[in-house]
Structure 1
Amino acid sequence: MSVLHDRISAYLDAYFEAWNAYDVPAMRALWDESEDNPVYLAEECAPHHGWDAILAYWGVDRSQSERLLTWRDLSVTHASTDVAIAFFHANWSTYIPGNRLYPRPFGGPVRITMVLRKKAEGWRAIHYAEAPLASIIQLREAHEAAVDPALHERLAAKGIRY
């Protein structure tokens, strides 16, 4: 492994430790605050462009929730002397007490790409994007397979084709 790989690994350990504690100041400290247009894309929502949007996303009260985020399989590219591109797999798990839709813990795998800039204090993120796996397609297919055949017959009788 390279020195860059080791440093980005240490960065990710610190970043996910901050996320698991939901320590927003610690999370923010691992970003390059001099970046005018940071981008943060969580899998469940539209992209957040700029500090106001990112801080609004992070500013949701999650104090009652529990979370565990883990990462693995880092691949890192030195794009220039002060820019690195990291790609890795992660898994998120969360529990939101009182959530009607998900009364039990839930989670899932994602793939993540981060662009980091080397600063005097170390590597800092400027771009983060999560890409969900195709499990959403599997979920849709499971929902479609659970449809009562009588509904398909009723739709066909009305001329509805899909």
Structure 2
Amino acid sequence: MSTDLHEELTDYLDAYFAAWNRYDVAAMRALWDESEEKALYLAEECEPHIGWEAILGYWGVDRSKAERLLTWRDLHAVQAGADVAIAFFHANWSTYLPGNRLYPKPFGGPVRISMTLRRTAEGWRAIHYVECPLASLIQLRKAHEDAVDPALHARLAAKGISY
């Protein structure tokens, strides 16, 4: 991956996630190529949204009372053509939905994201976005591993046990 492509897509993702964290739909939309009629947006919790009417319908939900923090890391990008790039990266979403009985506390999780972008006169713009959650079994195993008391890790290390 060229340094320029990595830097350009890093700047793009920083702007995109900043827009999401403000839930600024106009700013999010501006980072997509609206000339792509069949743009695809697939969040992990729902069916794919194909086309602008569907994408804007998903984004158009009133989230003004919710709070969110989305972060990303570990960009891997491929220049797939003169004006096309494919980005893969890890992200974490955290959200708080006040008054939600199922989730009265903040909740979130890790996802992997694959994104296809097209270079336009305005810069890189998304045309295809897919969130790929970890399998439930992997998420559960990680939760169990994260719950281990650090003292046990220290005791195992003292015995020369590594993993």
Q: Same fold (TM over 0.5)?
A: yes
Match of 2:137 in 1: 137
In the superposition, relative to structure 1, how do residues 138 and 72 fare at CA in structure 2: closer, same or farther (>3 Å)?
closer
Match of 2:126 in 1: 125
Residue 137 of structure 1: CA displacement? 2.8
| Structure 1 runs not aligned, ≥5 long | 142-162
SS of structure 2 residue aligned to 1:84: strand
Residue 26 of structure 1: CA displacement? 0.2
Alignment-mate amino acid for residue 69 of structure 1? L
TM-score, normalised via structure 2 length: 0.83
The sequence identity of aligned pairs, in percent, is: 71
Match of 2:83 in 1: 82
SS of structure 1 residue aligned to 2:61: coil
Residue 138 of structure 1: CA displacement? 5.3
TM-score, normalised via structure 1 length: 0.84
The two structures, once aligned, show a CA RMSD in angstroms of: 1.3
Residue 64 of structure 1: CA displacement? 0.1
SS of structure 1 residue aligned to 2:11: helix
Residue 36 of structure 1: CA displacement? 1.0
Match of 2:40 in 1: 39
Match of 1:29 in 2: 30
In the superposition, relative to structure 1, how do residues 4 and 63 fare at CA in structure 2: closer, same or farther (>3 Å)?
same
User: Following the alignment from structure 1 to structure 2, what is the Cα–Cα distance between the partners of residues 58 and 79?
Assistant: 28
Pairs aligned (count):
140
| Structure 2 runs not aligned, ≥5 long | 142-163
